[in-house]
Structure 1
Amino acid sequence: MQEFDPAAATAQWLATLSPEDTARAVAYTQGGHWLILWSFAVSILVAWILIRTGLLVRVREAVERKKGRPVLASFVVGLVYLAVSWLLTLPWSIYESWYREGQYGLTDQPFVGWLTEGLMSAAISTVFTALLLVGIYALIRRARALWWAWAAGLTAVFIVIGLIVSPILIEPLFNTYTPAPDGEVRDAVVALAEKTGTPSDKIYIYDGSRQSDRYTANVSGLFGTARVAMSDVMFTKGADLAEVRGVVGHEMGHYVRAHVLWMVGIMVLLTAVGFFLTDRLYPVAHRLLGAKGVGDIRDPAGLPVLGAVLAVLGLLATPISATMIRTIEADADHFSLVHANEPDGLSKALIKTAEYRAPSPSAIEEFFFYDHPSVENRIRRAMEWKATHPATKDSEVSPPAS
């Protein structure tokens, strides 16, 4: 019997992508890298416009015309800043998140539907973020030297609250989530849930095809609200039991390994560093942007200055955040291989994600931009696993023919 070759098997899986599909995926992915830079430029432009118009200074002065009202001023200025920023970036968002997605066949959502959902999302995030800004500005005023540390802690609290309430109050506004129906798919998922210690009543299917044609699943929520959700796109694209087990095993890995909590912890550390640097860089950005009428960092009218500094730091931190998420995704893949043992099912699913994530980037490109390991690397690891672990009796996927 010929010895199984993981490298050859990986090449066989990648060969199932047509040259046209691969070229389109590369164009979409590399264009997305440029979008990071252009989005940064848009953020700086919006900050400059808001400062030059003096809009936020006038709003702050209107609120505090008769007496100082720092809490109300920070809330109202925050609302105006977030709402106007959303409006100014709307043309770019239309291109980036709707038009371009349609160009590459990744969505057929009507523009009105996209815009309606965008307005709903903006309204929720504007109020939520404005309340966070009230707390941050209160900390800047009262804990001047260490406001950045306290603000990072407050941000963590808001993130956790958002993760807890999102599956209950927010996600149902955009999609319908239903428990996996009775049948062989549910039976396979429940059996895997029992094996991994994942609550079997937390497995859902949602109508993700409303927004996107991406083959995907996810874990959302925290503590008692956490759940694994599969987009219906998985099944319209022919997911079989082996694929379901491989994909759901990956998502269960996120759940069991508490990856959300790890991400929150790391993001809080990065937020603390970001706020610390913002405190030091604010005067420089204030001068470079010519923020006339805007006071020091305690002035909520300086939100565009803060936003510009954080945009710069966010751009520089791209490889850091990408590496963090990429590491967690690799761990979830390993969890799936250990518990579902569906290397071919997982590989078949990964090939279907290559339409929006070029499968074989250079190591440098992957390091700087990929928040998931490349499809080629993920399949190779799956094939290396297959080489040393026998197939399960439930597996229904065979590797592509040579």
Structure 2
Amino acid sequence: MTKFDPAAATAQWLATLSPQETARAVAYTHGSHWLILWGFVVSVLVAWIIVRTGLLVAIRSRIERRRRRPVLVSFVVALVYSALSWLLTLPWAAYKSWWREKQYGLTSQAFGGWLGEAAVGAVISVVVGALLLTAIYALIRRARRFWWAWASGVTAVFIVLGLIVSPLVIEPIFNTYTPAPNGPVRDAVVALAKQTGTPSDKIFIYDGSKQSDRYTANVSGLFGSARVAMSDTMFKQGADLAEVRGVVGHEMGHYAHVHILWMVGVLIVLSALGFWLTDRLYPTVRRLLGARDVGDIADPAGLPVLALILAFLGVLATPIEATLTRTLEADADHFSLVHANEPDGLSKALIKTAEYRAPSPSAVEEFLFYDHPSVENRIRRAMEWKATHMPEGAPDGAPQVTARQPPRP
């Protein structure tokens, strides 16, 4: 029998993508990189417009006409700013999140459906964001010297609470989650969940195809709210049991290795650094925006200035955040290979994700922008695992990815 060659097998998997599919994925991916820059330009424009209107200064002055009401001012200004910012960025969001996805065949959702969900999401984010900003401004007033350290901790608390509440309250607003019916798919996922210590009593399939045609699954929530959720796009794209085990095994790796808490820990450090830099940069950016009627960083009317600085720092932090998540994704792949032992199933699924993530970027591009290892690198690691752990049954080559009827869930 011919010795199994991981490099050759990886090349065969990649060859299942047509040149047209690969070119389309590259164009989409490179465009996504440019969106980071253009998104920041939009942030600059929105901050400039809001500052020039003087609306936030007027609201602050009116509320405090007779006496100081810092908490009320912070909350109302944050509400108005968040709502106005959403309205101003709506055309950009529609292009980025709907029109562009439609052009690349990654969504079949009508614009009305997208807009309705965007509006609901905006209401939630505006209220939650206003509460968070109110807390941050209270810290700026009371712990002026080290507010940035306290603010990072409060931000982390909001994130953790969101992770706990989201599967129970937020996600059901946008999608319908139904328990996976009895059958081979549920049996395979339940068995894998028990093996990996993941909750096995909350296995769901949701109508993710309502928003996106992307092939995906997830384990969301924390502690008692954690659940396994598979998008119906997986089965519409013909996922077989090997794919299901490979993909869900990856998601279970995130849960078993508490990757989300690692992310929160790193975000505490990054947000503390970001808030510290914001404190130092605020006077300069306020002057550049011409915000003459805005006070120091404790003035909620200066929220556009603060938001713009954080947007700029977010762009600079892109490689750091990408490297962090890429590392965790690689660990989840390894977890799947160890516990699901489906290198071909995982590879077959990864090929299907290449439609929105160019499979073979340069090392520099992957480092700067990719929040997952490239499809080529992920498949190569899966094939190396196969060569090491399945030497007897490893054929020399990769099966073709063809359309199949999905298994009955």
TM-score range, shorter chain: over 0.9
Tell me which residue corresponds to 1:356. 356
Q: Contact 1:342 / 1:391 at 8 angstroms: preserved in 2?
A: no
Tell me which residue corresponds to 1:399. 398
The C-alpha deviation readout for 1:4-57, integer Å capped at 9, x for no partner, is 000000000000000000000000000000001000100011001111111110
Instruction: State the shift of 1:197 in Å.
Output: 1.1
Alignment-mate amino acid for residue 140 of structure 1: I
Q: How many residues align?
A: 399
Tell me which residue corresponds to 1:47. 47
Tell me which residue corresponds to 1:247. 247
State the alpha-carbon separation in 2 of the partners of residues 130 and 170 from structure 1.
Answer: 17
Tell me which residue corresponds to 1:190. 190
Tell me which residue corresponds to 1:168. 168
Tell me which residue corresponds to 2:57. 57
Q: Secondary structure at the match of 2:361?
A: coil
Q: What aligned pairs does 1:157-306 form with structure 2 within 5 A after superposition?
A: 157-306=157-306
Instruction: State the shift of 1:181 in Å.
Output: 1.2
Q: Secondary structure at the match of 2:201?
A: helix
Alignment-mate amino acid for residue 269 of structure 1: V
Tell me which residue corresponds to 1:383. 383
Alignment-mate amino acid for residue 250 of structure 2: H
Corresponding position: 1:115 with 2:108: no
Q: What aligned pairs does 1:6-155 form with structure 2 within 5 A after superposition?
A: 6-155=6-155
Alignment-mate amino acid for residue 267 of structure 2: M
Instruction: State the shift of 1:391 in Å.
Output: 7.8
Identity rate, percent: 76
Q: Contact 1:342 / 1:392 at 8 angstroms: preserved in 2?
A: no
Alignment-mate amino acid for residue 296 of structure 2: D
| Aligned CA distance change for structure 1 residues 245 and 391 (closer, same or farther; 3 Å) | farther
Tell me which residue corresponds to 1:336. 336
Q: Secondary structure at the match of 1:32?
A: helix
| Aligned CA distance change for structure 1 residues 391 and 255 (closer, same or farther; 3 Å) | farther
| Aligned CA distance change for structure 1 residues 401 and 178 (closer, same or farther; 3 Å) | closer
Instruction: State the shift of 1:202 in Å.
Output: 2.4
State the alpha-carbon separation in 1 of the partners of residues 400 and 144 from structure 2.
Answer: 65
Instruction: State the shift of 1:309 in Å.
Output: 0.6
Instruction: State the shift of 1:229 in Å.
Output: 1.1
State the alpha-carbon separation in 2 of the partners of residues 51 and 292 from structure 1.
Answer: 9
RMSD, aligned α-carbons:
1.4
State the alpha-carbon separation in 2 of the partners of residues 220 and 111 from structure 1.
Answer: 27
Instruction: State the shift of 1:220 in Å.
Output: 1.4
Instruction: State the shift of 1:288 in Å.
Output: 1.0
State the alpha-carbon separation in 2 of the partners of residues 392 and 186 from structure 1.
Answer: 29
Alignment-mate amino acid for residue 27 of structure 2: A
Normalised to the residue count of structure 2, the TM-score between the two structures is 0.96
State the alpha-carbon separation in 1 of the partners of residues 324 and 55 from structure 2.
Answer: 38
State the alpha-carbon separation in 2 of the partners of residues 297 and 269 from structure 1.
Answer: 21
Q: Point out the more displaced range, 218-227 or 234-243.
A: 218-227
Q: Secondary structure at the match of 2:84?
A: helix
Specify every segment of 5 or more residues in structure 1 that has no aligned partner in the other structure, as ranges: none
Instruction: State the shift of 1:203 in Å.
Output: 2.0
| Aligned CA distance change for structure 1 residues 285 and 2 (closer, same or farther; 3 Å) | same
Instruction: State the shift of 1:265 in Å.
Output: 0.8
State the alpha-carbon separation in 2 of the partners of residues 168 and 78 from structure 1.
Answer: 26
The C-alpha deviation readout for 1:44-76, integer Å capped at 9, x for no partner, is 110011111111101111111111100000000
| Aligned CA distance change for structure 1 residues 392 and 149 (closer, same or farther; 3 Å) | farther
Q: Secondary structure at the match of 1:201?
A: coil
The C-alpha deviation readout for 1:330-370, integer Å capped at 9, x for no partner, is 00000000000000000000000000000000000000000
State the alpha-carbon separation in 2 of the partners of residues 82 and 353 from structure 1.
Answer: 33
State the alpha-carbon separation in 1 of the partners of residues 63 and 149 from structure 2.
Answer: 28
| Aligned CA distance change for structure 1 residues 13 and 75 (closer, same or farther; 3 Å) | same
Alignment-mate amino acid for residue 44 of structure 2: I
Tell me which residue corresponds to 2:404. none
Q: Contact 2:4 / 2:391 at 8 angstroms: preserved in 1?
A: no
Q: Secondary structure at the match of 2:377?
A: helix
The C-alpha deviation readout for 1:165-221, integer Å capped at 9, x for no partner, is 100010000001112210011111111111111111122111000000000111211
Tell me which residue corresponds to 1:365. 365
Alignment-mate amino acid for residue 399 of structure 1: A
State the alpha-carbon separation in 1 of the partners of residues 342 and 284 from structure 2.
Answer: 54
State the alpha-carbon separation in 1 of the partners of residues 190 and 25 from structure 2.
Answer: 34
State the alpha-carbon separation in 1 of the partners of residues 201 and 162 from structure 2.
Answer: 22
Q: Contact 1:341 / 1:392 at 8 angstroms: preserved in 2?
A: no
| Aligned CA distance change for structure 1 residues 392 and 159 (closer, same or farther; 3 Å) | farther
State the alpha-carbon separation in 2 of the partners of residues 160 and 275 from structure 1.
Answer: 19
The C-alpha deviation readout for 1:72-115, integer Å capped at 9, x for no partner, is 00000000000000000000001000000000000010111000
State the alpha-carbon separation in 2 of the partners of residues 164 and 401 from structure 1.
Answer: 40
